[in-house]
Amino acid sequence: MPEKIFRIYNSMTRSTEVVEPAQPGRLRFYACGPTVYSYAHIGNFRSFLTADLVLRTAQAIGWETAYVTNITDVGHLTEDDAADAEGEDRMAKALRSKEGERFANIWDLARYYANTLLSDWQALNLREPDARPRATEHVARQIRDVARLLEKGHAYETAQGVYFSVASFPDYGKLSGNVLATGLDEGVRDVVQDPEKRDPRDFALWKKDPDHLMVWHSPWGWGFPGWHIECSTMAQAYLGESFDLHTGGEDNKFPHHECEIAQAESLSGKPFARYWLHTRFLQVEGEKMAKSAGNFFTVRDLVGPESEGGRGIHPLALRLALISGQYRKPLNFTFDQLLACARHIQRFEEAADLAAQGVARNDPGEDALGEPLARLYEQALAAMLDDLNTPEAIAAAIEGAKRVLRDGRTMGGATARSAQNWLEKINGLLGIVAQETPRTAAKTAGSAAAEEAFAREVEDLLRQRAEARAQRDFQRADAIRDQLAGMQVEIMDAPEGTRWRRQISNPVS
Ligand SMILES: [Zn+2]
């Protein structure tokens, strides 16, 4: 197999470049994760899915990967994107809100939304990272980094906190092009800033606030870390001072990523990440997604069961819709398109069923699909290697499913085997054919074999439940549903059949 070339658009150099990991064949990368003050919305997931596609594409060409994505559970302030170190901690604000009433304290709230994030992650078939550090579990290291920045003269202390001195880092602005304070200035106009701040561009590394709901002891008294230092510290803790790629949403580019670079490079004197990849925003039905516009959707609004206020949409249909546009272009998410995606997912499932039935038949026949399907896989892979061109990759996948369905029930064993292998490879690349066994669940259960046994038991119960329902024995059907709930299995009834997934334990409900 000739060496594959993986190209992405590097926001740092503003050009499309060949990805060359520092260690050939081993991609080390960090993706900015969510702030867990609420359920993740579909715009958040568009950016997480880009990282997932980078991971899958790298693995598809045989690279090893070291993939880290964080959970922000303290210190991300409401005004952080516009006015540094101003506003309220999003976590504390969520606790005071109507939805926050059911939590006993802020730690319960953080744990709950982090758990729902993990279950959405699993539902949308994202592969598990090698590490998922939480900011609150790495505060000692963040304090150490802030202390080192002070020692090196890159930071200073005021009565209210510790700030990074932007003037001490001449490269500030190299990612976003934002060298003046304009981006921040406009936001700060209405907010009272720390009067001791030396430069409006300076940003908080540490906030002194003994009354905050989440506090740690530091050399500067009780308080909590700034959002930017959390990410650069965790990235360097898990991936080293320098690594290959850093990803996030386009709204992370400035100030968040600019500040991460300033901190990390001031500490190490080395380039932080060599490639930067940013996912453009998502619109819903042609408009900016906003709660006030009534077009704001969390993942569970769409894929959750109808009994819980969701729409019962197949999670893979949502995944397909969210990756249907290339990450570098704004994506207009529409319900028409989501329905079209649901039909595609149904076809992938039908193709997988037909292939499985064909393989079970004892007539090998000639392999009618091996060659055309191999060509379509190569097309899909080539598209993904070309700056994650998902529309072309998905088109090749859909074309392949069409071929499999066309041969349908007449497929001999050899053809069916090719179809099955192809579906598995396409799923590995795009994650749109079938839910992959989540690694987290396998770990809890101890082994893949235990996981399979568990799945068989669930499938068996689902079959019994379907029989009971067909016989209109609803009492028995409900009892089976309760039994499944007791096994932490969530079931989703949809017109195309019943699906299930493991629930991640929910500490508050
Ligand atoms: Zn981040």
More confident residue, 363 or 376: 376
Distance 33 CA to ligand 1 centre (A): 6
Q: Per-residue pLDDT averaged across 290-319, rounded?
A: 92
Distance 43 CA to ligand 1 centre (A): 16
Q: Where are the domains of the chain?
A: 22-279, 284-430, 446-502
More confident residue, 270 or 191: 270
Cα-Cα-Cα-Cα dihedral of 337, 339, 345, 349, to 10°?
Answer: -160
Distance 71 CA to ligand 1 centre (A): 9
Rounded to whole angstroms, the Cα distance separating 286 from 189 reads: 31
pLDDT tens-digit map of 307-323:
888 999 999 999 999 99
Distance 382 CA to ligand 1 centre (A): 30
What is the per-residue pLDDT for 414?
92
Q: Per-residue pLDDT averaged across 216-230, rounded?
A: 95
Of all helices (H) and strands (E), which one includes residue 340? helix 335-360
- Over the chain, what is the mean pLDDT? 89
15 contact partners, CB below 8 Å, separation of at least 6: 9
Distance 237 CA to ligand 1 centre (A): 14
Distance 257 CA to ligand 1 centre (A): 7
CB 29 within 8 A of CB 245: yes
Distance 50 CA to ligand 1 centre (A): 15
Q: Per-residue pLDDT averaged across 98-119, rounded?
A: 91
Taking 50 as the threshold, does the pLDDT of residue 8 lie above it?
Answer: yes
Of all helices (H) and strands (E), which one includes residue 65? strand 64-69
pLDDT band (50, 70, 90) for residue 491: confident
pLDDT band (50, 70, 90) for residue 71: very high
Distance 7 CA to ligand 1 centre (A): 23
Distance 297 CA to ligand 1 centre (A): 22
What is the per-residue pLDDT for 87?
76
Q: Per-residue pLDDT averaged across 114-141, rounded?
A: 95
Q: What's CA 248's distance to the chain center, in Å?
A: 10
pLDDT band (50, 70, 90) for residue 83: low
Distance 73 CA to ligand 1 centre (A): 12
Q: Per-residue pLDDT averaged across 227-243, rounded?
A: 96
Taking 60 as the threshold, does the pLDDT of residue 504 lie above it?
Answer: no
Taking 60 as the threshold, does the pLDDT of residue 509 lie above it?
Answer: no
What is the per-residue pLDDT for 507?
32
Distance 230 CA to ligand 1 centre (A): 7
Q: Per-residue pLDDT averaged across 346-360, rounded?
A: 91
Q: What's CA 136's distance to the chain center, in Å?
A: 19
Distance 405 CA to ligand 1 centre (A): 43
Distance 269 CA to ligand 1 centre (A): 20
What is the per-residue pLDDT for 84?
66
Distance 328 CA to ligand 1 centre (A): 19
Residue whose tokens read 């996912």: 279
pLDDT tens-digit map of 395-449:
999 999 999 999 877 888 999 999 999 999 999 999 999 998 654 443 333 445 5
Distance 98 CA to ligand 1 centre (A): 27
What is the per-residue pLDDT for 194?
86
What is the per-residue pLDDT for 440?
42
Distance 478 CA to ligand 1 centre (A): 44
pLDDT band (50, 70, 90) for residue 81: low
Distance 47 CA to ligand 1 centre (A): 12
Distance 141 CA to ligand 1 centre (A): 16
DSSP string across 122-184: HHTTPPPPSB--BGGGSHHHHHHHHHHHHHTTSEEE-SSEEEE-GGG-TTTTTTT---SSHHH
pTM, entire model: 0.84
Q: Per-residue pLDDT averaged across 356-368, rounded?
A: 84
Its CATH class, for the domain covering 284-430, is mainly alpha
Distance 32 CA to ligand 1 centre (A): 4
Burial class, 253, CB count within 10 angstroms (exposed 0-12 / middle 13-18 / buried 19+): middle
More confident residue, 100 or 14: 14
Distance 236 CA to ligand 1 centre (A): 12
Distance 69 CA to ligand 1 centre (A): 9
What is the per-residue pLDDT for 75?
77
Q: Per-residue pLDDT averaged across 44-57, rounded?
A: 98
Distance 66 CA to ligand 1 centre (A): 17
Distance 196 CA to ligand 1 centre (A): 26
pLDDT band (50, 70, 90) for residue 207: very high
CB 492 within 8 A of CB 435: no
Q: Per-residue pLDDT averaged across 92-119, rounded?
A: 90
Q: Do domains 22-279 and 284-430 have the same CATH topology?
A: no
For 104-113, 367-376, 477-486, which range has the lowest pLDDT when averaged over its residues? 477-486
Taking 90 as the threshold, does the pLDDT of residue 56 lie above it?
Answer: yes
Distance 146 CA to ligand 1 centre (A): 17
Taking 70 as the threshold, does the pLDDT of residue 88 lie above it?
Answer: yes
What is the per-residue pLDDT for 508?
34
Rounded to whole angstroms, the Cα distance separating 35 from 37 reads: 6
What is the per-residue pLDDT for 439?
41
What is the per-residue pLDDT for 164?
96
Distance 30 CA to ligand 1 centre (A): 9
Taking 90 as the threshold, does the pLDDT of residue 146 lie above it?
Answer: yes
More confident residue, 504 or 330: 330
**22-279 is classed CATH 3.40.50.620:** yes
What is the per-residue pLDDT for 442?
37
Distance 159 CA to ligand 1 centre (A): 26
Taking 50 as the threshold, does the pLDDT of residue 290 lie above it?
Answer: yes
pLDDT tens-digit map of 434-490:
998 654 443 333 445 565 667 778 888 888 888 898 889 888 888 888 888 877 787
Residue whose tokens read 């304070």: 181
pLDDT band (50, 70, 90) for residue 271: very high
Distance 231 CA to ligand 1 centre (A): 5
Distance 290 CA to ligand 1 centre (A): 22
Distance 121 CA to ligand 1 centre (A): 18
Distance 260 CA to ligand 1 centre (A): 8
